[in-house]
Amino acid sequence: MTFGDRLFELRKTKNISQEELAELLDVSRQSISKWENDKAYPEMTRLLFMSDYFEVSLDYLMRGEENGSSKEEVAINYKARNLLMIWNSFVSNLSDKQRKLLMVLYILLVCIFVAIIGAFAYGGGYAIGKGIGHITNYLNL
Protein backbone atom coordinates (compact mmCIF):
# COMPACT_ATOMS: atom_id res chain seq x y z
CA MET A 1 0.00 0.00 0.00
CA THR A 2 1.45 3.38 -1.02
CA PHE A 3 1.25 6.79 0.63
CA GLY A 4 -1.44 7.76 -1.88
CA ASP A 5 -3.49 4.66 -1.05
CA ARG A 6 -3.27 5.40 2.68
CA LEU A 7 -4.23 9.04 2.15
CA PHE A 8 -7.22 8.03 0.03
CA GLU A 9 -8.31 5.46 2.64
CA LEU A 10 -7.93 7.92 5.52
CA ARG A 11 -9.82 10.60 3.63
CA LYS A 12 -12.67 8.20 2.88
CA THR A 13 -12.72 7.07 6.51
CA LYS A 14 -13.25 10.69 7.56
CA ASN A 15 -15.82 10.98 4.77
CA ILE A 16 -14.34 14.15 3.28
CA SER A 17 -13.81 15.04 -0.36
CA GLN A 18 -10.57 16.03 -2.02
CA GLU A 19 -11.89 19.59 -2.12
CA GLU A 20 -12.56 19.61 1.64
CA LEU A 21 -9.11 18.22 2.44
CA ALA A 22 -7.53 20.71 0.05
CA GLU A 23 -9.31 23.55 1.83
CA LEU A 24 -8.12 22.31 5.23
CA LEU A 25 -4.54 22.09 3.99
CA ASP A 26 -4.70 25.32 1.96
CA VAL A 27 -3.72 23.58 -1.29
CA SER A 28 -5.50 22.89 -4.58
CA ARG A 29 -7.69 19.86 -5.17
CA GLN A 30 -5.21 18.88 -7.88
CA SER A 31 -2.47 18.63 -5.24
CA ILE A 32 -4.58 16.14 -3.28
CA SER A 33 -5.15 14.18 -6.47
CA LYS A 34 -1.40 14.10 -7.21
CA TRP A 35 -0.70 12.90 -3.67
CA GLU A 36 -3.32 10.16 -3.88
CA ASN A 37 -1.92 9.04 -7.27
CA ASP A 38 1.64 9.02 -5.88
CA LYS A 39 2.79 11.66 -8.37
CA ALA A 40 3.91 14.06 -5.61
CA TYR A 41 4.26 14.32 -1.85
CA PRO A 42 3.10 17.05 0.54
CA GLU A 43 5.39 19.30 2.55
CA MET A 44 6.32 18.31 6.09
CA THR A 45 3.97 20.86 7.70
CA ARG A 46 1.06 19.40 5.78
CA LEU A 47 2.11 15.86 6.64
CA LEU A 48 2.15 16.82 10.32
CA PHE A 49 -1.31 18.37 10.03
CA MET A 50 -2.65 15.26 8.25
CA SER A 51 -1.18 12.94 10.86
CA ASP A 52 -2.95 14.93 13.58
CA TYR A 53 -6.16 15.33 11.61
CA PHE A 54 -6.41 11.64 10.71
CA GLU A 55 -5.10 10.63 14.16
CA VAL A 56 -2.27 8.46 12.83
CA SER A 57 1.49 8.61 13.23
CA LEU A 58 3.74 10.05 10.56
CA ASP A 59 5.31 6.62 10.35
CA TYR A 60 1.97 5.08 9.42
CA LEU A 61 1.12 7.89 7.05
CA MET A 62 4.40 7.67 5.15
CA ARG A 63 5.43 4.02 5.48
CA GLY A 64 2.34 2.10 6.48
CA GLU A 65 1.91 -0.51 9.17
CA GLU A 66 5.34 -2.01 9.75
CA ASN A 67 4.64 -4.05 12.85
CA GLY A 68 1.17 -5.34 12.03
CA SER A 69 -0.57 -2.89 14.37
CA SER A 70 -4.09 -1.83 13.59
CA LYS A 71 -4.86 1.81 12.80
CA GLU A 72 -6.45 2.18 16.22
CA GLU A 73 -3.33 0.90 17.98
CA VAL A 74 -1.12 3.20 15.92
CA ALA A 75 -3.37 6.19 16.73
CA ILE A 76 -3.42 5.34 20.45
CA ASN A 77 0.37 4.95 20.55
CA TYR A 78 0.79 8.22 18.69
CA LYS A 79 -1.49 10.09 21.10
CA ALA A 80 0.21 8.52 24.13
CA ARG A 81 3.66 9.53 22.87
CA ASN A 82 2.44 13.08 22.24
CA LEU A 83 0.92 13.33 25.72
CA LEU A 84 4.14 12.05 27.31
CA MET A 85 6.21 14.53 25.31
CA ILE A 86 3.93 17.38 26.40
CA TRP A 87 4.06 16.24 30.03
CA ASN A 88 7.86 15.91 29.96
CA SER A 89 8.16 19.36 28.43
CA PHE A 90 5.86 20.77 31.11
CA VAL A 91 7.73 19.16 33.99
CA SER A 92 11.17 20.06 32.66
CA ASN A 93 10.18 23.74 32.58
CA LEU A 94 9.15 23.81 36.25
CA SER A 95 11.29 25.43 38.92
CA ASP A 96 12.47 23.39 41.92
CA LYS A 97 9.77 24.95 44.10
CA GLN A 98 7.08 24.09 41.54
CA ARG A 99 8.36 20.51 41.30
CA LYS A 100 8.14 20.14 45.09
CA LEU A 101 4.59 21.50 45.05
CA LEU A 102 3.72 19.08 42.25
CA MET A 103 5.12 16.20 44.34
CA VAL A 104 2.97 17.29 47.30
CA LEU A 105 -0.03 17.36 44.98
CA TYR A 106 0.77 13.81 43.80
CA ILE A 107 0.97 12.59 47.40
CA LEU A 108 -2.33 14.25 48.28
CA LEU A 109 -4.04 12.74 45.25
CA VAL A 110 -2.74 9.27 46.10
CA CYS A 111 -3.95 9.65 49.71
CA ILE A 112 -7.39 10.79 48.52
CA PHE A 113 -7.56 7.87 46.09
CA VAL A 114 -6.64 5.37 48.81
CA ALA A 115 -9.20 6.94 51.17
CA ILE A 116 -11.95 6.67 48.55
CA ILE A 117 -11.12 3.02 47.85
CA GLY A 118 -11.07 2.32 51.59
CA ALA A 119 -14.45 4.02 52.04
CA PHE A 120 -15.98 1.95 49.24
CA ALA A 121 -14.48 -1.25 50.65
CA TYR A 122 -15.76 -0.44 54.16
CA GLY A 123 -19.19 0.56 52.84
CA GLY A 124 -19.41 -2.55 50.67
CA GLY A 125 -18.40 -4.80 53.54
CA TYR A 126 -20.88 -3.10 55.84
CA ALA A 127 -23.70 -3.54 53.29
CA ILE A 128 -22.83 -7.20 52.74
CA GLY A 129 -22.74 -7.80 56.50
CA LYS A 130 -26.15 -6.14 56.95
CA GLY A 131 -27.52 -8.26 54.09
CA ILE A 132 -26.21 -11.45 55.65
CA GLY A 133 -27.68 -10.37 59.00
CA HIS A 134 -31.10 -9.82 57.42
CA ILE A 135 -30.95 -13.19 55.66
CA THR A 136 -29.98 -15.07 58.84
CA ASN A 137 -32.78 -13.31 60.81
CA TYR A 138 -35.29 -14.10 58.06
CA LEU A 139 -34.28 -17.76 58.03
CA ASN A 140 -34.09 -17.90 61.82
CA LEU A 141 -30.54 -19.25 61.82
- What is the per-residue pLDDT across 22-41, written as a single tens digit (0 to 9) for each? 999 999 999 999 999 999 99
Question: Is residue 66 over pLDDT 80?
Answer: no
Q: How far is CA 4 from the centre of its chain?
A: 25
CA distances from 85 to 71, 109, 126, 133 (A): 21, 22, 44, 54
Question: Is residue 65 over pLDDT 80?
Answer: no
- pLDDT category at 57 given cuts 50, 70, 90 is confident
Residue 76: predicted pLDDT = 83
Q: CB count, 10 Å around CB of 74?
A: 20
pTM value is: 0.47
Nearest to 3 by CA among 33, 31, 41, 56: 41
- Annotated domain spans of the chain: 3-80, 95-138
Mean pLDDT taken over the chain: 89
Q: Which CATH superfamily is domain 3-80 in?
A: lambda repressor-like DNA-binding domains (1.10.260.40)
